[in-house]
Structure 1
Amino acid sequence: MDINKKEQIAELNLPRTIHLVPLDIINGFSVRPGFYEINGATAIPGGVNFTVHSFSATGIELVLFHRGEKEPYAVLPFPQHYRIGNVYSMIVFKLNMEEFEYVYRVSGPYDPKKGLIFDSTKDLLDPYAKAVSGQREWGKGDFWQENSYRARVVKDDFDWGNMKSPLIPMEDLIIYELHVRGFTKDLSSGVLHPGTFEGLMEKLPYLKELGVNAVELMPIFEFDEMQDSRMVDGNMLYNYWGYSTVSFFAPNTSYTASQEYNREGNELKKLIREFNKAGIEVYLDVVFNHTAEGNEQGPFFSFKGFDNNIYYLLTPDGHYYNFSGCGNTLNCNHPIVHQMIMNCLRYWVTTYRVDGFRFDLASILGRNEDGSPMDKPPLLQAMAFDPILGDVKLIAEAWDADGLYQVGTFPSWNRWAEWNGRYRDDMRRYIKGDPGCAQAAALRIAGSRDIYAENLRENASVNFFTCHDGFTLYDLYAYNYKHNEKNGWNNTDGANDNNSWNCGVEGETADGEVNALRMRMMRNAFALLMCSRGIPMFLAGDEFCNTQFGNNNAYCQDNITSWLDWSLLEKHQDMFDFFKYMIAFRKSHRILRANMSGGACGFPDVSFHGIHPWHDGPFSKDDHYVGVAFAGWDKEAGPQLVYVASNAYWEDLTITLPPLPAGLCWNMEADTWESAQRPRPCPEGRFTIRRRSVMVFTASASH
């Protein structure tokens, strides 16, 4: 049992109270009023405590099913004297938690224009369900139907031992975004349990070798892969990504290697424990902006039946606002929804020891009940200051599907970081040689100080070139256009503004020069990512040139389009080695990650340079070369100087490095023109940077 639940039950003197209060009998079951502050269904000595709330309901029934059976074996109405305020709570004794599943049926008014759509014929999933039945086997069920989701009671007896969270400083993070199923589902992964938490855990040595210290898991809350499933050209398409939550408190049981009846989540807990022991934090990509219930045409399985007009943002005539692009929008700043989200986050942190959260379409979390953006959203402020979440990383996707774009302005209280979409867009344009992008690139490399004032937004920028949403890094330099035909929407889905470049040929080619250029462009992007101030993040598989064959919206592709092809690791071992090298380089040079006492050796903390040292004023629209120098003083290692040279021009350039104080000389540490890195001195202070390439220099004592 969760330790917090134990403490709450102990405070309520449960064992003594059970014997002191007379029991009621409902349909043959012994019951008594329950514990009103413990939401959901909780196993207690001798029975199960069921607590549920609804503002407008007139009555609620608890419905019990034998596991897997279609018809219930018991229906237990909550007596009205078991209700306090809007909360119904009941202990049912002598239930074998391993043999039953449960739902609720809720009665109440029906007035759609007011958002009231109560229907006592609907079987409703508990909003606080800790496990959902019927989802165990991926793609096997017909569960995308109403009256199909049921909850189970979870026994939390996982032993965390003396594990401590890594608590990695924000500035030191290197985030690796992955899809649990797609990471190991292909046979080429070589794991014993492909497509599962266990399979991911088998790849822990690989991740340690690569050098990442945080993994961001795409949605692992229970979702239904059968949502909108359909056949296209002989291939079954699914809700593969999972950005459509069914239950916020339950892990996706189809991601487990074995059945976990009433101990759902243990495999995920083991993964988090082992990753934390290895010094790798685990973040969850969470979707609190909408649910899988959709709009008026969507299913009716949980929130709609408890308090539709509270859980969702509704128009004055009772329809659903759609700021999420998925049919509905959660009413996040209503006190009831606010409370649920906070309880949910605390649950994942205390019960699963999750290290951080990335919030999908997080700008929605700052909208008022009329849909307008709020100056100080109560929910976001509560997350920022909540004691339980005090050490947890909070990362916002600072925009939504209705055009609200808050990169740089997301309410933060110096607590929230943001996916920096401007870093992605500006750096993509610059690297492929677009005119007028040098100044923006220099600012992005330097930490986007024009967006994030350091004194107000420390470690706020999560820098990335690629994520699940869009091209892989390989495809970014293999395709000018998206190729989403297999998604079944005539290539109309997915973004059109990818800022990609195919290097002269669309798609796969046998042209050696084109392929060499593509590899170099990938190295350019990753070298600059690792040498930029801010928190770097990259997509799983980029390190060995994984491709989605030009699909930039593979949300429905449960196949090799989205699965990692691990055979590419051997083919592109040199790319993996380069990624590993640049990650290690970043880790060994703190000056790339943080301001260290404001400069060193006559250099300010950050300075910009052209082909000649000390670039004055902004870069022009014709500039394609950017030099950025970072300088600082380390108490133990002394001065640190790193000079990042990037040539997005299509010709070689001769560059003069800024002069160093006596006793120091420049050393070339990385050169993307070459696949293998050979650090060497550059004592003359002049060098030729080849076309479309990046070089990195450090200063050290001359010999």
Structure 2
Amino acid sequence: MIGVSKMSEIKKFGTFNLLPGKPVPYGATVIPNQGVNFSVYSLNAISCELVLYRKKEKDPFAIIPFPNEYKVGNVFNMIIQNLDYENIEYGYRMDGPRSHKEGHWFDPSKVLLDPYAKIVGGRDVWGEEPDWSDPYQHRGQIIADNCYNWEGDRQLNIPIEELIIYEMHVRGFTKHASSSVKNPGTYAGIIEKIPYLKKLGINCVELLPIFEFDEFIKIRGPIINISGDHMKNYWGYDPLAYFAPKGGYASSANGRQSAEFKDLVKALHQNGIEVILDVVFNHTGEGKETMPSVSFRGIDNKTFYLTNPDGSYRNYSGCYNTVNCNHPVVRKFIIDCLRYWVHEYHIDGFRFDLASIMCRDQDGTPLGNPPLVEAISYDPVLKNTKLIAEAWDAAGLYQVGGFPSYGRWSEWNGKYRDDLRRFLKGDSGFVEAMVYRIQGSPDLYKGRGTHASINFVTCHDGFTLMDLFSYFSKHNMANGENNMDGSNDNHSWNWGYEGPTDNPEIIKLRKKQIKNAISILMLSYGVPMILAGDEMGRTQNGNNNAYCQDNDISWINWNLLKSNNEIYNYFEKIIAFRKNNRILTEREHYETTNSLGSRYPQISFHGVKPWEYDNSSESKTLAVMFYDKQSDNNIIYMGMNMYWEKLEFTLPKLVNMDWYLFSDTSKAPPYDITEPGRELLLKNQNKINIDARSVVILIGKKQHQDKLIQFI
């Protein structure tokens, strides 16, 4: 019902009634019995038009100016009545100053995407060539929120220290024909693979960006791969619409992508698996000044981006532009976005790409108390939401261990990755570093808890785990950049041959190193994250920057489960071992006072001799023992020998307990690892031989008189 005062303000535009709107919320909002409220902010625009299209039609059927008298502050707003919103698409045209040197990019002929659009059309089918003559490629669509049946679903709120995070690409996870799913490369495809994730032991998936982006972004540039094909923006780290799930990841888009993604979240939650989104607030897909304006640049460039005095973009992201994160309006935009995904999609957490950019002032200066990070940390809607920072940017700001946490944030621990890689490779001087990394990096996160450290060996950005031990150098020629892209600082080794080999000894050593890596990762304090496909030995043929490879280089080949079952089996059992032993998920860093009155310290480090380890520069051995004082039947020992010869390790003596062997990475399957709870009693309780470049895991159990027990 419309009040009397509103009646007097109604304007007619063709068949539509126009009324003064609501300045907030921004975007297109369906108001029952009233119409659709359109609201868009611009500090510098002098006029704004709403452009309406029927779906799939190239030309608009209506262009409606926002009446000046409806404007509230810097917000253009109005309500449109009699609008068949389910069958239309919309955008805005803005006019204002046209001085690029002053940072203004207004163009009244350019139709712009609403930054708050909840659904975006134009890329409904992944990789389907659009009509390049259409000047409005990405079109806002309107949906009514709160129409989905969640069946009582909520955030799972699994304690973060209990997570096993699995970083995956929505499309790459099931696109390969070997996935055998009905809808490969989609949200629905992941649903079909949930039983696999549960069997592996995963309780959290971290999805590479799913905000709407343009997979054809590279077509605008000169980059062509060596096959002569246009490459795709495969990873998706160039968002255009932050409130809209990627249509091309849906089995049937055309507005259905929202419901299908909700189906995925609900199904994962029903199976005890949380969902973390990889979000990119440091830059947008509008790219450099010579690329087309899609949204933010044409709406209010000076507000949304960091610019130099000459109007050019500051580039702290390495992707041509940098979002002005700590501007009050942009800060509100980001928090609105996070709240929306938590409320509307029940997302459990966010991983913030190049999060250190969120710590830069509007002139680029690093801030000790960044307003955006503080606001996110204390936001009441985000109270139970997990927050993970990639604590660096592309301009040299490296904050691992120093990201402003406000008691809330965890960090991708790049030092854990690098130190573990170098220790496994046998580099000198990394024993002491591993002492810290296994403890949850107290040198970096003292007072913040072990859960501040997201531990990983590999992620989407870099080598896969198989490639880490198969290649000395990157092999990125397929990217079309003359192998100049991607990091050269990989700490990898090929063990005698570059790439695939038939040499059985090299193959054995590579598999052993994979097992060594996952063993140490799962027996470290902190939160472990693994890269999808590492559990089956996935390779990218040495490509350590497959951001543009929408093909077999990036897609998971599920046939590897059979050919590399040895690796998968080890992953599954070591993950189960971590989850079965509470001492490995300790939330706080070890303090000596924690062990007062206990039989053993909560965590202690050893070498070839118990209770002492060699931290000299040439040492390549280390052992760690974990003890749960709450349960005398929970004591774990991991011996690590990265030396090139077998060594004898003297074991710590146990009181009324015996050592049982859980795993030995030097042994061939099925003797490399046991089922948790079915470990084998060691005949020699005093010493154990650990093969060259191998890891052994033991568990202490109360002594038994059972004569039928298995020995090794």
Same fold, judged at TM 0.5 (above): yes
- Give 1:486's match in structure 2, choosing from 451, 455, 478: 478
Q: Secondary structure at the match of 2:659?
A: strand
Q: In 2, Cα distance between the equivalents of 1:356 and 1:41? A: 26
Q: Secondary structure at the match of 2:399?
A: coil
**Which amino acid letter does the alignment assign opposite residue 617 of structure 2?**
K
**Residue 632 of structure 1 pairs with residue 632 of structure 2:** no
Q: Secondary structure at the match of 1:402?
A: coil
Q: In 1, Cα distance between the equivalents of 2:517 and 2:30? A: 52
**Which amino acid letter does the alignment assign opposite residue 487 of structure 1?**
N
Aligned to 1:89: 77
Structure 1 residues 436 and 17 mapped into 2: Cα distance closer, same or farther (>3 Å)?
Answer: farther
Q: Secondary structure at the match of 1:645?
A: strand
- Give 1:578's match in structure 2, choosing from 548, 551, 570: 570
- Give 1:240's match in structure 2, choosing from 234, 251, 264: 234
Q: Secondary structure at the match of 1:101?
A: strand
Aligned to 1:51: 39
Structure 1 residues 289 and 523 mapped into 2: Cα distance closer, same or farther (>3 Å)?
Answer: same
Aligned to 1:320: 313
Q: Residues 459-498 of structure 1: matches in 2 within 5 Å?
A: 459-498=451-490
CA offset digits 1:610-665 (Å, max 9, x no partner): 1001126x70111110111122222xx4453211111111100000111222x122
**Which amino acid letter does the alignment assign opposite residue 623 of structure 1?**
S
Q: Residues 3-18 of structure 1: matches in 2 within 5 Å?
A: none
Q: In 2, Cα distance between the equivalents of 1:270 and 1:654? A: 53
Contact 2:9 2:20 (8 Å CA) reproduced = no
Aligned to 1:72: 60
Aligned to 1:520: 512
**Which amino acid letter does the alignment assign opposite residue 32 of structure 1?**
L
- Give 1:607's match in structure 2, choosing from 579, 604, 608: 604
Aligned to 1:688: 689
**Residue 188 of structure 1 pairs with residue 178 of structure 2:** yes
Q: Secondary structure at the match of 1:98?
A: helix
Q: In 2, Cα distance between the equivalents of 1:598 and 1:88? A: 59
Contact 1:143 1:149 (8 Å CA) reproduced = no
- Give 1:387's match in structure 2, choosing from 355, 358, 380: 380
**Residue 402 of structure 1 pairs with residue 399 of structure 2:** no
**Residue 125 of structure 1 pairs with residue 113 of structure 2:** yes
Q: Secondary structure at the match of 1:633?
A: coil
- Give 2:250's match in structure 1, choosing from 251, 256, 261: 256
Q: In 1, Cα distance between the equivalents of 2:321 and 2:490? A: 27
Q: In 2, Cα distance between the equivalents of 1:259 and 1:318? A: 38
Aligned to 1:39: 26
**Residue 536 of structure 1 pairs with residue 528 of structure 2:** yes
Post-superposition shift, 1:133?
A: 1.1
Count of residue pairs brought into register by the alignment? 684
Q: In 1, Cα distance between the equivalents of 2:9 and 2:65? A: 18
Q: In 1, Cα distance between the equivalents of 2:158 and 2:254? A: 31
Contact 1:398 1:410 (8 Å CA) reproduced = yes
**Which amino acid letter does the alignment assign opposite residue 99 of structure 2?**
D
CA offset digits 1:448-500 (Å, max 9, x no partner): 111110x2345100000000000000011111111101000111110111111
Q: In 1, Cα distance between the equivalents of 2:649 and 2:360? A: 50
Post-superposition shift, 1:542?
A: 0.5
Q: In 2, Cα distance between the equivalents of 1:280 and 1:60? A: 44
- Give 2:299's match in structure 1, choosing from 306, 324, 331: 306
**Which amino acid letter does the alignment assign opposite residue 603 of structure 2?**
V
Q: In 2, Cα distance between the equivalents of 1:644 and 1:227? A: 48
- Give 2:540's match in structure 1, choosing from 539, 548, 558: 548
Contact 1:601 1:639 (8 Å CA) reproduced = no
Aligned to 2:12: 25
Q: Residues 354-433 of structure 1: matches in 2 within 5 Å?
A: 354-433=347-426
Q: In 2, Cα distance between the equivalents of 1:18 and 1:641? A: 75
CA offset digits 1:236-279 (Å, max 9, x no partner): 31100000011111110000011343x44100001000101110
Q: In 2, Cα distance between the equivalents of 1:629 and 1:315? A: 54
Q: In 2, Cα distance between the equivalents of 1:500 and 1:118? A: 48
Moved more, 216-225 or 639-648: 639-648
Identity %: 48
- Give 1:505's match in structure 2, choosing from 497, 521, 526: 497
Contact 1:414 1:458 (8 Å CA) reproduced = no
Contact 2:633 2:702 (8 Å CA) reproduced = no
Root mean square deviation, CA, Å: 1.7
- Give 1:641's match in structure 2, choosing from 632, 635, 660: 635
Post-superposition shift, 1:17?
A: 7.6
Structure 1 residues 670 and 16 mapped into 2: Cα distance closer, same or farther (>3 Å)?
Answer: farther
Structure 1 residues 399 and 143 mapped into 2: Cα distance closer, same or farther (>3 Å)?
Answer: farther
Q: Secondary structure at the match of 1:439?
A: helix
Structure 1 residues 581 and 26 mapped into 2: Cα distance closer, same or farther (>3 Å)?
Answer: same
Post-superposition shift, 1:303?
A: 0.6
Post-superposition shift, 1:419?
A: 0.3
**Which amino acid letter does the alignment assign opposite residue 41 of structure 1?**
A
**Which amino acid letter does the alignment assign opposite residue 29 of structure 1?**
F
CA offset digits 1:400-459 (Å, max 9, x no partner): 101111000000012100000000000000001111111112211121111110x23451
Q: In 1, Cα distance between the equivalents of 2:377 and 2:641? A: 40
- Give 1:212's match in structure 2, choosing from 202, 227, 243: 202
Q: In 2, Cα distance between the equivalents of 1:532 and 1:684? A: 24
Structure 1 residues 17 and 434 mapped into 2: Cα distance closer, same or farther (>3 Å)?
Answer: farther
Q: In 2, Cα distance between the equivalents of 1:38 and 1:318? A: 30
Q: Residues 79-158 of structure 1: matches in 2 within 5 Å?
A: 79-142=67-130, 147-156=136-145, 157-158=147-148
Aligned to 1:7: none
Q: In 1, Cα distance between the equivalents of 2:528 and 2:300? A: 41
- Give 2:159's match in structure 1, choosing from 169, 179, 201: 169
**Residue 197 of structure 1 pairs with residue 187 of structure 2:** yes
Aligned to 2:707: none
Post-superposition shift, 1:18?
A: 9.6
Q: Secondary structure at the match of 1:583?
A: helix
Question: What TM-score, normalized by structure 2, do the two folds share?
Answer: 0.94
Q: In 2, Cα distance between the equivalents of 1:17 and 1:237? A: 58
Q: Secondary structure at the match of 1:666?
A: strand
Post-superposition shift, 1:146?
A: 5.2
Moved more, 646-655 or 227-236: 227-236
Q: Secondary structure at the match of 2:521?
A: helix
